[in-house]
């Protein structure tokens, strides 16, 4: 018997089915890894699920974690469509947080303008942080994977420097953090949850914006062409420089807004990087890939990963596991998604000898 693989173009149902299967398998692989290290996977998974979806508060926390994932994920999907590998969402998010902190703690700015300004300047700072490597890529063809990644580390060090040094809060004793923001710089939340709904609204709007961008606009079309075949894009008169800068501006800016949300909606102060972002910028890469660079897919994937993060916090407390273990899921899911993508493109035919 011979197994033959025949190429085909997968339909939406097939894609969804295979994606779902990949996630299940990834959870299985992760379970094995946990088991090998003496952690009971069933208990771990139960904790995760209950923590993330088992109560209203739990679900609200899932939404809280999903907000920055949606923002970064949507932004990254724009960049990835152009095949510009922006791995720097984490740093862009942090720069948005820095910008928001500056505005929040600045006494010269009228209080009623603070929230709007935080979002605007946060977007701009995230965008600039992405435009630097974007420019290096567009003009000098410098590998953006490395440059955006390096900018992440630089941003992290910058935040560490600020909270330990010049921006350290006066009454904060030994804690490396800024003073708490004035109430005028607190993004309001829904009822008894931590959902900072203004950021959530921006997240949904950005999703709709991106959808329209790619389905209905000239610029969206140009981004797609650049991602598919940059030579054809040049031939068609599309400016590569313009597109690269644009996608970096958008993805960096959205990540910046995510940073604003975290710092002004959740923590109300600037803290060391790991206290602001649980690796949202990196998780967003997986979220956007899992969502197939499609805004709707990104939302669904964000809920899933938001839940995983909430669950991750839960098992960190109850099982004493370091928070970085959540990366096991991330890595396994991404790996299995890649395998799934390959299988989706082939129909398996079994050929019997003599047939």
Q: 141: exposed, middle or buried (C-beta count within 10 Å: 0-12, 13-18, 19+)?
A: exposed
DSSP bridge partners of 4 = 349
Q: Which is nearer to other proteins, 261 or 340 (CB)?
A: 340
Helix (H) or strand (E) holding 350: strand 346-351
HSE of 90 in the Cβ direction (CA atoms, 13 Å)?
27
Q: Residue length, the chain?
A: 355
Rg from Cα positions in the chain: 22
User: From CA 116, how far away is CA 260, in angstroms rounded?
Assistant: 11
Q: Which is nearer to other proteins, 183 or 347 (CB)?
A: 347
Give the shortest CB-157-to-other proteins separation in angstroms. Answer: 4
Q: 50 vs 164, which CB is nearer to other proteins?
A: 164
Q: 43 vs 228, which CB is nearer to other proteins?
A: 228
Taking the least distance from each CB to other proteins, the nearer of 86 and 199 is: 86
Least distance to other proteins from the beta carbon of 77, Å? 13
Q: CA–CA separation, 72 vs 46, rounded Å?
A: 28
Which of residues 183 and 234 has its CB atom nearest to other proteins in the complex? 234
Rounded to a whole number of angstroms, the minimum distance from the CB of residue 45 to other proteins is 15
DSSP 264: I
Minimum gap (Å) between residue 321 Cβ and other proteins: 7
Give the nearer residue to other proteins in terms of CB position, either 203 or 233.
Answer: 233
Rounded CA-CA distance 239/82 in Å is: 12
State the nearest-atom distance from the C-beta of 304 to other proteins, in Å.
16
Question: Who's near 76: CB < 8 A, 6+ residues apart?
Answer: 86, 89, 251, 284, 285, 287, 288
Phi-psi region of 230 (alpha: psi -120 to 50; beta: other; left: phi over 0): alpha
Q: Is 64 helix (H, G, I), strand (E, B) or coil?
A: helix
Q: Are 81 and 233 in contact (CB under 8 A)?
A: no
The three-state secondary structure class of 55 is coil
**Minimum distance, C-beta of residue 46 to other proteins, in the bound complex (Å):** 18
Q: Residue 193 or 316: which CB sits closer to other proteins? A: 316
Q: Dihedral of CA 293/327/199/168: which sign?
A: negative
Closest approach of other proteins to the CB of residue 109, in Å: 27
**CA proximity to 33, closest of 296, 348, 321:** 321
Count of C-beta atoms within a 10 Å radius of residue 335: 14
CB of 23 to other proteins, least distance (A): 14
- Closest approach of other proteins to the CB of residue 223, in Å: 11
Judged by beta carbon, residue 66 or residue 337, the one nearer other proteins is: 337
Q: Give the binding site for other proteins (CB under 8 A).
A: 6-7, 9, 33-34, 37, 39, 85, 87, 133, 136, 140-143, 145-147, 149-151, 153-154, 157-158, 160-161, 164-165, 216-219, 221, 224-225, 228-229, 231-239, 282, 285-286, 289, 320-322, 324-332, 334-335, 338-339, 341-342
Q: Are 115 and 185 in contact (CB under 8 A)?
A: yes
């Amino acid at each position: 018997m011979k197994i033959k693989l025949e190429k085909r173009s997968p339909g939406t149902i097939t894609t969804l089915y295979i994606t779902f299967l990949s996630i299940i398998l990834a959870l299985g692989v992760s379970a094995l890894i946990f088991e090998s290290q003496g952690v009971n996977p069933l208990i771990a998974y139960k904790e995760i699920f209950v923590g993330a979806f088992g109560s209203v508060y739990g679900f609200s926390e899932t939404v809280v974690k999903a907000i920055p994932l949606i923002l970064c994920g949507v932004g990254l999907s724009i960049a990835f469509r152009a095949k510009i590998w922006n791995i720097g969402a984490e740093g862009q998010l942090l720069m948005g947080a820095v910008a928001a902190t500056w505005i929040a703690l600045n006494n010269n700015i009228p209080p009623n303008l603070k929230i709007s300004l935080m979002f605007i300047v946060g977007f701009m700072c995230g965008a600039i942080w992405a435009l630097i490597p974007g420019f290096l890529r567009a003009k000098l063809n410098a590998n953006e994977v490395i440059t955006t990644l390096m900018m992440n580390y630089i941003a992290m060090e910058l935040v560490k420097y600020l909270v330990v040094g010049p921006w350290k809060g006066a009454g904060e004793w030994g804690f490396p953090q800024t003073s708490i923001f004035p109430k005028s710089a607190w993004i309001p939340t829904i009822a008894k949850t931590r959902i900072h709904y203004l950021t959530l609204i921006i997240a949904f709007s950005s999703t709709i914006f991106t959808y329209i961008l790619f389905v209905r606009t000239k610029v969206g079309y140009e981004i797609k062409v650049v991602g598919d075949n940059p030579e054809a894009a040049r031939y068609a008169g599309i400016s590569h420089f313009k597109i690269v800068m644009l996608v970096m501006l958008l993805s960096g800016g959205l990540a910046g807004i995510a940073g604003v949300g975290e710092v002004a909606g959740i923590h109300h102060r600037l803290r060391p990087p790991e206290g602001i972002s649980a690796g949202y910028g990196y998780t967003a890469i997986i979220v956007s890939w899992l969502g197939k660079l499609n805004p709707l897919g990104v939302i669904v994937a964000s809920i899933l990963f938001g839940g995983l993060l909430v669950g991750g916090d839960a098992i960190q407390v109850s099982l004493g596991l370091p928070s970085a273990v959540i990366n096991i899921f991330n890595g396994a899911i991404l790996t299995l998604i890649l395998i799934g993508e390959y299988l989706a493109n082939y129909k398996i035919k079994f050929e019997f000898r003599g047939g």
